[in-house]
């Protein structure tokens, strides 16, 4: 019952309102533009307009110009501020000090990936070949008839090393190192390379693809590099065919490598380390990686509260041609991040004690829209191959994944040094005979690297471990005997000394007195900054506020309203005039009478049809808006005085 | 009428020149306070009671003071900078790497020049410490030291001899060569003795530098003979080498092929042609990799295999035993256009080791004037850059010292480049230079030369943070084959089998391609300053620039013109009074009616006082101020009045 009644009431209200509106429209504007402007100027809270109306004409003009000037300055400055805000600048805050922090993950590798005694059977052919090559390069005069017989030339023929004789710079002669066995050499002169030395002959690697039809030479200025590169390439080929489980067995075991471990006051052992097979360095061991268990914190600075390790490198068992540098490789990195030991690691020398003071240098960046960094790498168009190790995103991982992607696209096999995507195979000479050529092309190409750099994004949190490295001889001559004895006894249960100065390394890794330096980004210009600056500008030039803006908007609406009303009146008058023109002075119709009844301001135009002059001479409308009545007096005065001034 | 005049007339008609509306200053102030947009002022007028009025006056003045204070703070802190640190992962330019052997010249080549000096040094060692002969392990058999130095026997050696000083009696010293006692005058300067207090040694070794013309002498003593002999040797060495022409020196030093056994950059072989020669006076021939401005190498991958790998041949047998006492090489990483200050900053490389140097690049940009005193390219520093390199603070200091040296001593110091139209000091031409140099150096260290205050730091610089680590190289098992191949590589440069202590391996690489840029940017801009002003003005008084214009208008223009008008009226009145006896009929108030408060100007023009005024005969509207301070009325009254004011001004 009540509901329809209520609805009826509402419709009535709306109807009433509409009728009122109609009447208002029909009545024409209640007041003029000028009135409205004057009223606004007098009553607004902004400072300039008030002065326009209250003084003499010269000052009026001056204040008008000033107000316009200030308003334009305000708008310009607002533009500047909004643009500054939208440039998303950041400010940084730096904090330095000591706090209890997670001890960094420590990755330890041996510089040699495998124990020679365990990989000898794989590398036997290659090593014999290598020795023969060295023999040929260094001492070509010696007879070698018996030495070359046992060599396996399948490896050699795939990517041979050649000597390029440049004694005649216009006709360089290419000489195969085993020319007398194969007669590949194009030159007919007998034994031209016999008296060749490094200044005259260069060693180069011949890389062929498409069954040896397309060949390039990779030149080296020194034989040392040539043979090293060649050996690494061949060894990569061999190891890529061996399953990883077997490779792990061939490397140094944790028990062998880590002799003693002490973290703070607590003893630890190789069991506290997570093993990771690294293609460059074989078995690496990571302390405090944080993938399986919680990371260990360290709450005190100093050596006594850090990690102390004694390692045995077993230098005698290094693969002789694969690595010429002996030492432990060491990398401090964040928890759950993949250790890129080869790129970022440092060496620790055997026979020394290396102390490393650590300062954690952290940079925390704001993500979008402040910078292009990525939080977890999910918005990077490259699949992170290192995520198989449960590691976090890093740009190094991205770039390597990108390279492997390109490798698979171009050479259709994956490189041994990088992880494999699912369903792909590592490159080897048997299945992919062109891979060496393809790989060396790809590695030289700058475009590939730049494409990867462009695609990969930096991660938002960047942690660097700044290290202060110092070294001392260890063990000292006085303590040498008993230390070796004890360590040998512990590891091998033998009374003989099985360790030597050449293999033993002591490491101390500890936090420095100030262990962190954090650079944190924060938005330089936030919305509060923007608002207060906008307010400051508006206030400074015009003394305005948001309410002034609302006032202004109100006036604009009023303006539009007046315009609408005028337009309606104008069109109506046009229609009337046309009607009048057609009937040429007929008596007032019923419609006109009705009009006259509803609209008080209505005047029949019969008296003078052309009398619609401009707005000023229109009679001042009868009903001013109810709100403004108290203020109307003054504007009227002004208008009067103006017109008086005109008349004089 | 001309159109210009028409316009003029129209302007005159529409925009008549009128004075301030208020008749008195007090009235003006009152009007101002009521009409102004600032907040405190109105309260002063509106408030009732003296206490309240006083309170509001105090508040308003406090607010004004606060505004001034805060705005002053804002202005003072305008030239501050904010620092931003950015990291970019990008392709990086590889820096220039300069590598020097620590020993400057091959001893076998330079020996003929230094024969006398060596003899002298050996003799000194014998007399002072009883050391007889250098038991050179593999050194070439000491050839008979036939002095190769042509011309007169160098007498300078005897002028500055090594001496033993008795700690007790500083005035006596024994010349070890002749054994005769010498009278020592002048002050004894212990090198480092001021800080160290070496008490044990009774006898100290040193040398004395005297200037020839005067009797001024400076004596340098050292707590250890090692330092004394090395310093002394160096002094004479510089003397000798200063006279040797540059080509000869370059020939005496190591060639690039000799120093660099192998070179590998970013997976590509490189050789001596990729290095440019740079001759350093104290380090001989140095070689700079990647120094060519137009073809700078860049790195697009981090890690040691993408950086520079070199194996250096350090021939220890050719070392000068007195000049250098350590073995190895020195390496410095610098910008392409930067001068490598090997002796000041440099990383030493040990033999039989692989030195791996990981780099991080940090770039810093500072803001120049007026934020800080740094200089963009050194062109505004009043010191000529004598180095053929980009400006740096160190270059400026060295240039400054060298210029001063040429000014005061007439010759240039050996270890720095030559300024135009100067030559290096040597004993033949400049017998006084050593004393002069040491004196000047003393002054330089004590900042008396003014170099430190004139030189300014550069605004932008690149810095490579190095992480150096060592490993044994070659490893035990690879030593044999590696040395064989390396010997073949070196080929005819040396006719002997290489030893591992003759070699050093160096790896220089970017650890990652993160480039840190530390940038300063202005913390404030003019817009910010203005909006801060606006904030302050708005907070304390709800004021704006309009109010400031109002204040200027009211307090300076209007009040001054009121005062001027009053003075004018008074003067006129005084004049008319003076003229009064002459024509007493002239109505004095005809002009005075313009300003009805003429005679009671120190009083408030209240209603009563206004009534007291004599009515102006010719005026239709009496010049009475309105009875009520209705703003509306006031204005009308003034405007009417002012039209009148104009009439006499025109007539």
Q: Which of A307-311, B132-136, B240-244 shows the lowest mean pLDDT across its residues?
A: B132-136
Count CA atoms closer than 13 A to A366's CA, side-chain side.
16
Give the phi and the psi of residue B515 in degrees, each rounded to 5.
-110, 120
pLDDT band at B348 (very low <50, low <70, confident <90, very high): very high
A568-587 per-position pLDDT tens digit:
888 988 998 888 776 655 56
Vertex A331, ends A327 and A335: CA angle to 5°? 150
Contact B504, B314 (CB under 8 A): yes
Quote the DSSP letter at residue B210.
Answer: E
Query: Is B17 in Cβ contact with A536 (below 8 Å)?
Result: no
| Strand pairing class (B181-183; B353-365) | unpaired
Q: Is the pLDDT of residue A565 over 90?
A: no
pLDDT of residue B286: 93
- Show which of residues 492-521 on chain B sit within 8 Å of chain A, judged by CB atoms: 492, 505, 511-514
Query: Is B87 in Cβ contact with A462 (below 8 Å)?
Result: yes
**Nearest-by-Cβ selection for A349 from B16, B471, B484:** B471
Give the phi and the psi of residue A556 in degrees, each rounded to 5.
-60, -40
- Show which of residues 162-191 on chain A sit within 8 Å of chain B, judged by CB atoms: none
Q: Is the pLDDT of residue B616 over 80?
A: no
* CB under 8 A, 24+ apart: contacts of B436-442: B436/B211, B436/B405, B436/B408, B436/B409, B437/B405, B437/B409, B437/B413, B438/B209, B438/B218, B438/B220, B439/B218, B440/B401, B440/B404, B440/B405, B440/B408, B440/B409, B441/B401
pLDDT of residue B96: 93
Query: Is B269 in Cβ contact with A225 (below 8 Å)?
Result: yes
**Nearest-by-Cβ selection for A138 from B358, B484, B632:** B484
- Show which of residues 42-101 on chain A sit within 8 Å of chain B, judged by CB atoms: 47-48, 50-51, 54, 56-58, 61, 66, 70, 77, 80-81, 89-92
Give the phi and the psi of residue B597 in degrees, each rounded to 5.
-100, 25
Question: In chain B, what are the domains?
Answer: 23-78+526-563 (no CATH), 84-102+254-364+462-521 (2.60.470.10), 108-129+155-194+201-243 (no CATH), 373-458 (1.10.287)
SS3 A508: strand
Mutation for testing the A interface, residue in B35, B478, B493, B561 having most A CBs under 10 Å:
B478
A108-120 per-position pLDDT tens digit:
999 999 999 999 9
Contact B173, B163 (CB under 8 A): yes
Q: Is the pLDDT of residue B172 over 80?
A: no
B425 CA: distance to closest CA in chain A (Å): 41
Q: Is the pLDDT of residue B146 over 50?
A: no
Q: Is the pLDDT of residue B142 over 70?
A: no
> For residue A219, what is the nearest residue in chain B, using CA coordinates?
B269
A410 CA: distance to closest CA in chain B (Å): 20
Chain B residues within an 8 Å CB radius of A320: 475, 477-478, 481
Per the listing, tokens 């410490």 go with B129
Above pLDDT 70, what percent of chain A? 83
B488 CA: distance to closest CA in chain A (Å): 6
Give the phi and the psi of residue B552 in degrees, each rounded to 5.
-60, -45
Mutation for testing the B interface, residue in A50, A56, A207, A470 having most B CBs under 10 Å:
A56
Per the listing, tokens 């290096």 go with B424
SS3 A505: strand
SS3 A549: helix
Above pLDDT 70, what percent of chain B? 75
A372-406 per-position pLDDT tens digit:
888 888 888 989 999 888 888 988 899 999 999 99
pLDDT band at B137 (very low <50, low <70, confident <90, very high): very low
Average pLDDT over residues B568-588: 75
Mutation for testing the A interface, residue in B15, B305, B475 having most A CBs under 10 Å:
B475
pLDDT band at A140 (very low <50, low <70, confident <90, very high): low
Give the phi and the psi of residue B38 in degrees, each rounded to 5.
-70, 155
Nearest to B521 by CA among B207, B86, B179: B86
- Show which of residues 614-643 on chain A sit within 8 Å of chain B, judged by CB atoms: 633-634, 637, 641
Does the ipTM exceed 0.95? Answer: no
Q: Which fold has domain A98-107+251-522?
A: Acid-sensing ion channels like fold (2.60.470)
Per the listing, tokens 């004596």 go with B219
B434-488 per-position pLDDT tens digit:
788 888 888 898 888 888 898 988 898 899 999 999 999 888 888 888 988 888 8
A490-503 per-position pLDDT tens digit:
888 877 888 888 88
Q: Is the pLDDT of residue B147 over 70?
A: no
pLDDT of residue B176: 53
DSSP A147-201: TSTT--HHHHHHS-EEEEE-SSTTS-EEEETTHHHH------SSSTTTT--TTTE
Q: Is the pLDDT of residue A410 over 80?
A: yes
Average pLDDT over residues B396-424: 87
Give the number of other CB atoms < 10 A from CB of residue A514.
13
pLDDT of residue A402: 92
Q: Is the pLDDT of residue A357 over 80?
A: yes
Residue B325 contacts A where some CB pair is shorter than 8 Å: no
Query: Is A227 in Cβ contact with B15 (below 8 Å)?
Result: no
Residue B471 contacts A where some CB pair is shorter than 8 Å: yes
**Nearest-by-Cβ selection for A462 from B311, B485, B514:** B514
**Nearest-by-Cβ selection for A92 from B84, B475, B491:** B84
pLDDT of residue A347: 93
Query: Is A349 in Cβ contact with B470 (below 8 Å)?
Result: yes
Crossing angle of helices A446-455 and A395-411, in 10° steps, is 130
- Show which of residues 569-588 on chain B sit within 8 Å of chain A, judged by CB atoms: none
B342 CA: distance to closest CA in chain A (Å): 22
Average pLDDT over residues A291-318: 89
- Show which of residues 353-372 on chain B sit within 8 Å of chain A, judged by CB atoms: 353-354, 356, 358, 360
B460 CA: distance to closest CA in chain A (Å): 19
pLDDT band at B150 (very low <50, low <70, confident <90, very high): very low
pLDDT band at A648 (very low <50, low <70, confident <90, very high): very low
pLDDT band at A200 (very low <50, low <70, confident <90, very high): confident
Residue with more model confidence, B152 or B156: B156
Burial annotation A313-352 (CB, 10 A radius, 16+ → b, else e) = bbbebbbbbbbbbbbbbbbbbbbebbbbbbbbbbbbbbbb
Query: Is B544 in Cβ contact with A223 (below 8 Å)?
Result: no
**Nearest-by-Cβ selection for A91 from B35, B82, B636:** B82
Bridge partners, B222 (sequence order): B205
> For residue B538, what is the nearest residue in chain A, using CA coordinates?
A539
**Nearest-by-Cβ selection for B537 from A318, A323, A540:** A540
pLDDT of residue A542: 85
B601-615 per-position pLDDT tens digit:
444 455 544 555 454
Quote the DSSP letter at residue A451.
Answer: H
Chain A residues within an 8 Å CB radius of B474: 324-326
Dist CA B518 CA B88 (whole Å):
11
Residue A323 contacts B where some CB pair is shorter than 8 Å: yes
Chain A residues within an 8 Å CB radius of B267: 443-444
- Show which of residues 567-586 on chain A sit within 8 Å of chain B, judged by CB atoms: none
Bridge partners, A169 (sequence order): none
Dist CA A275 CA A279 (whole Å):
13
pLDDT of residue B158: 60
Report how many Cβ contacts below 8 Å link chain A to chain B: 262
Chain B residues within an 8 Å CB radius of A446: 300
Sign for the CA dihedral angle at A63, A69, A75, A81 comes to negative
A368 CA: distance to closest CA in chain B (Å): 15
pLDDT of residue B299: 86
Average pLDDT over residues B614-618: 49
Above pLDDT 90, what percent of chain B? 16
SS3 A378: coil
A533 CA: distance to closest CA in chain B (Å): 5
pLDDT of residue A472: 93
pLDDT of residue A422: 87
Highest-scoring range by mean pLDDT, A613-627, B58-72, B421-435: B58-72
Dist CA A111 CA A504 (whole Å):
13
Q: Is the pLDDT of residue B122 over 80?
A: yes
Dist CA A372 CA A382 (whole Å):
16
Q: In what helix (H) or strand (E) does residue A276 lie, and over which residues does it extend? A: strand A273-278
Contact A262, A303 (CB under 8 A): no
pLDDT of residue B99: 94
Contact A43, A625 (CB under 8 A): no
Give the phi and the psi of residue A238 in degrees, each rounded to 5.
-70, -45
- How far apart are the two ends of chain A, measured CA to CA in Å? 71
pLDDT of residue B12: 67
pLDDT band at B642 (very low <50, low <70, confident <90, very high): very low
pLDDT of residue A2: 46
| Strand pairing class (A352-364; A504-523) | parallel
Q: Which of A142-146, B299-303, B419-423, B635-639 shows the lowest mean pLDDT across its residues?
A: B635-639
Question: Residue B622 class from Cβ within 10 Å (0-12 exposed, 13-18 middle, 19+ buried)?
Answer: middle
pLDDT of residue B432: 77
Average pLDDT over residues B375-381: 85
pLDDT of residue B416: 84
Q: Give the tokens for residue A123.
A: 């590398």
A538 CA: distance to closest CA in chain B (Å): 7
What CA–CA distances, in Å, run from A487 to A260, A475, A500, B328? Answer: 8, 12, 10, 34
**Nearest-by-Cβ selection for A56 from B18, B270, B491:** B18
A464 CA: distance to closest CA in chain B (Å): 10
Vertex A333, ends A332 and A334: CA angle to 5°? 145
pLDDT band at B507 (very low <50, low <70, confident <90, very high): very high
Contact A296, A106 (CB under 8 A): no
Domain positions in chain A are 27-89+538-570, 98-107+251-522, 116-138+153-178+197-250
- How distant is the alpha carbon of residue A252 from its chain centre? 37
Q: Is the pLDDT of residue A194 over 60?
A: no
Query: Is B356 in Cβ contact with A347 (below 8 Å)?
Result: yes
Crossing angle of helices A633-647 and A33-43, in 10° steps, is 120
Residue with more model confidence, B622 or B517: B517
pLDDT of residue B155: 55
What CA–CA distances, in Å, run from A566 to A27, A194, A464, A572, B386? Answer: 10, 110, 73, 10, 83
pLDDT band at B213 (very low <50, low <70, confident <90, very high): low
Query: Is B271 in Cβ contact with A326 (below 8 Å)?
Result: no
Query: Is B269 in Cβ contact with A138 (below 8 Å)?
Result: no
pTM strictly above 0.95: no
B490-504 per-position pLDDT tens digit:
876 667 788 888 899
Average pLDDT over residues B159-187: 55
pLDDT band at A267 (very low <50, low <70, confident <90, very high): very high
DSSP strands (E only) in B195-238: 203-210, 217-222
Dist CA A139 CA A197 (whole Å):
10
pLDDT of residue A22: 78
Contact A53, A42 (CB under 8 A): yes
Query: Is A221 in Cβ contact with B531 (below 8 Å)?
Result: no
């Amino acid at each position: 019952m009540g509901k329809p009644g209520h609805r009826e009431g509402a419709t009535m209200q709306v109807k009433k309102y509409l009728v009122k509106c109609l009447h208002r429209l029909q009545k024409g504007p209640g007041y003029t533009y000028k009135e409205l402007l004057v009223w606004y100027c007098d009553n607004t809270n902004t400072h300039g307009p008030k002065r326009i109306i209250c003084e003499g004409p010269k000052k009026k003009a001056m204040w008008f110009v000033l107000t316009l000037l200030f308003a334009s300055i305000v708008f310009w400055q607002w533009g500047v501020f909004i643009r500054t805000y939208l440039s998303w600048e950041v400010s940084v805050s730096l904090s330095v000090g000591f706090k209890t922090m997670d001890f960094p993950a420590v990755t330890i590798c041996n510089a040699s990936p495998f124990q020679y005694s365990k990989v000898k059977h794989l590398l036997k052919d290659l090593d014999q070949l290598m020795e023969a090559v060295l023999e040929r390069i260094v001492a070509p005069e010696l007879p070698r008839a018996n030495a070359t017989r046992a060599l396996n030339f399948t490896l050699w023929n795939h990517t041979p090393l050649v000597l390029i004789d440049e004694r005649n710079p216009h006709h360089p002669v290419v000489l195969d190192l085993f020319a007398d066995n194969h007669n590949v050499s194009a030159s007919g002169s007998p034994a031209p390379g016999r008296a060749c030395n490094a200044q005259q002959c260069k060693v180069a690697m011949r890389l062929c693809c498409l069954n040896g039809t397309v060949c390039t030479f990779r030149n080296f200025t020194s034989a040392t590099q040539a043979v090293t590169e060649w050996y690494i390439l061949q060894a990569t080929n061999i190891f890529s065919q061996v399953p990883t489980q077997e490779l792990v067995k061939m490397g140094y075991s944790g028990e062998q490598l880590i002799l003693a471990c002490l973290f703070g006051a607590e003893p630890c052992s190789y069991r506290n380390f997570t093993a990771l097979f690294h293609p460059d360095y074989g078995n690496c061991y990571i302390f405090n990686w944080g993938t399986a268990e919680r990371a260990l914190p360290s709450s005190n600075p100093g050596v006594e509260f850090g990690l102390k390790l004694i390692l045995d490198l077993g230098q005698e068992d290094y693969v002789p041609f694969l690595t010429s540098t002996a030492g432990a490789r060491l990398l401090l990195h964040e928890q759950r991040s993949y250790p890129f030991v080869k790129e970022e690691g440092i060496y620790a020398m055997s026979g020394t004690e290396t102390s490393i003071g650590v300062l954690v240098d952290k940079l925390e960046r704001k993500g979008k829209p402040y910078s292009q960094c990525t939080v977890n790498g999910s918005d990077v168009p490259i699949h992170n191959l290192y995520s198989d190790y449960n590691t976090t995103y890093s740009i190094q991982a991205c770039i390597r994944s990108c390279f492997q992607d390109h490798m698979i696209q171009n050479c259709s096999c994956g490189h041994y040094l990088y992880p494999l995507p699912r369903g792909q195979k590592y490159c080897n000479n048997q299945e992919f005979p062109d891979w060496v050529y393809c790989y060396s092309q790809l590695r030289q190409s700058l475009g590939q690297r730049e494409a990867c750099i462009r695609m990969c994004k930096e991660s938002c949190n960047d942690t660097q471990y700044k290290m202060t490295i110092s070294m001392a001889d260890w063990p000292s001559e006085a303590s040498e005997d008993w230390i070796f004895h004890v360590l040998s006894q512990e590891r091998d249960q033998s009374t003989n000394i099985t360790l030597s100065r050449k293999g033993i390394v002591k490491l101390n890794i500890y936090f420095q007195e100030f262990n962190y330096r954090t650079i944190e980004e924060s938005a330089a210009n936030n919305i509060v900054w923007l608002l207060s600056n906008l307010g400051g500008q508006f206030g400074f030039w015009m003394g305005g506020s948001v309410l002034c803006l609302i006032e202004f908007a109100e006036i604009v609406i009023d303006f539009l309203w007046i315009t609408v009303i005028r337009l309606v009146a104008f069109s109506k008058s046009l229609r009337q005039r046309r009607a009048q023109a057609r009937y040429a002075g007929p008596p007032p119709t019923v419609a006109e009478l009705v009009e006259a009844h509803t609209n008080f301001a209505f005047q029949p135009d019969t008296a003078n049809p052309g009398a619609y002059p401009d707005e000023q001479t229109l009679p001042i409308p009868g009903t001013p808006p109810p709100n403004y009545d108290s203020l109307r007096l003054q504007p009227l005065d002004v208008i009067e005085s103006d017109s008086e001034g005109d008349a004089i | 009428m001309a159109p210009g005049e028409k316009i003029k007339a129209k302007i005159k008609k529409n925009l008549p020149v009128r004075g301030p509306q208020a008749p008195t200053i007090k009235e003006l102030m009152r009007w101002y306070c009521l009409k102004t947009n600032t907040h405190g002022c109105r309260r002063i007028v509106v408030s009732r009671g003296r206490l309240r009025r006083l309170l509001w006056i105090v508040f308003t003045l406090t607010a004004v003071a606060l505004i001034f204070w805060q705005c002053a703070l804002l202005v003072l802190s305008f030239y501050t900078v904010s620092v931003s640190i950015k990291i970019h992962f990008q392709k990086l330019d590889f820096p220039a790497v300069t590598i020097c052997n620590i020993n400057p010249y091959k001893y076998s080549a330079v020996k003929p020049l230094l024969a006398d000096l060596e003899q002298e040094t050996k003799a000194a060692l014998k007399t002072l410490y009883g050391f007889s002969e250098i038991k050179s392990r593999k050194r070439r058999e000491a050839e008979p030291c036939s002095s190769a130095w042509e011309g007169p026997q160098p007498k300078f050696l005897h002028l500055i001899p090594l001496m033993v000083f008795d700690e007790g009696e500083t005035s006596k010293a024994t010349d070890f060569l002749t054994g005769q006692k010498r009278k020592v005058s002048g002050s004894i300067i212990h090198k480092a003795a001021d800080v160290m207090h070496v008490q044990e040694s009774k006898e100290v070794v040193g040398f004395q530098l005297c200037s020839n013309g005067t009797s001024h002498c400076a004596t340098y003593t050292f707590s250890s003979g090692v330092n004394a002999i090395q310093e002394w040797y160096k002094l004479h060495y510089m003397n000798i080498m200063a006279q040797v022409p540059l080509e000869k020196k370059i020939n005496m030093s190591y060639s690039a092929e000799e120093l660099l056994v192998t070179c590998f950059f970013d997976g590509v072989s490189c050789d001596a042609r990729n290095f440019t020669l740079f001759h350093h006076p104290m380090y001989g021939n140095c070689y700079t990799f990647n120094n060519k401005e137009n073809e700078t190498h860049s790195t697009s991958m981090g890690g040691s295999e993408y950086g520079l790998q070199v194996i250096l041949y350090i021939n220890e047998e050719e070392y000068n035993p007195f000049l250098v006492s350590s073995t190895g090489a020195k390496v410095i990483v610098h910008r392409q256009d930067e001068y490598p200050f090997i002796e000041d900053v440099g990383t030493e490389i040990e033999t039989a080791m692989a030195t791996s140097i990981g780099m991080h690049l940090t770039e810093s940009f500072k803001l120049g004037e007026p934020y800080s005193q740094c200089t963009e390219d050194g062109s505004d520093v009043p010191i000529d850059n004598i180095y053929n390199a980009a400006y740096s603070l160190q270059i400026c200091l060295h240039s400054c010292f060298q210029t001063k040296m040429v000014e005061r001593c007439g010759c240039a110091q050996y270890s720095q480049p030559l300024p135009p139209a100067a030559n290096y000091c040597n004993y033949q031409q400049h017998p006084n230079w050593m004393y002069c140099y040491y004196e000047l150096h003393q002054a330089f260290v004590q900042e008396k030369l003014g170099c430190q205050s004139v030189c300014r730091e550069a605004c932008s610089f690149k810095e490579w943070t190095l992480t150096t680590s060592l490993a044994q190289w070659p490893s035990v098992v690879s030593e044999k084959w590696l040395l064989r191949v390396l010997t073949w590589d070196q080929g005819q440069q040396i006719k002997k089998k290489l030893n591992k202590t003759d070699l050093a391996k160096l790896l220089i690489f970017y650890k990652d391609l993160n480039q840190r840029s530390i940038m300063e940017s202005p913390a404030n801009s003019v817009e910010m300053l203005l909006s801060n002003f606006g904030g302050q003005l708005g907070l304390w008084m709800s004021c704006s620039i309009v109010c400031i214009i109002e204040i200027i208008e009211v307090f300076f223009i209007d009040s001054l013109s009121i005062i001027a008008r009053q003075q004018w009226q008074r003067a006129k009145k005084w004049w008319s009074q003076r003229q009064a006896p002459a024509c007493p009929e002239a109505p004095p108030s005809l002009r005075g009616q313009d300003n009805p408060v003429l005679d009671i100007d120190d009083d408030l023009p209240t209603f009563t006082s206004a009534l007291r005024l004599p009515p102006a005969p010719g005026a239709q509207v009496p010049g009475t101020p309105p009875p009520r301070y209705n703003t509306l009325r006031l204005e009308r009254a003034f405007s009417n009045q002012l039209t009148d004011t104009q009439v006499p001004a025109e007539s």
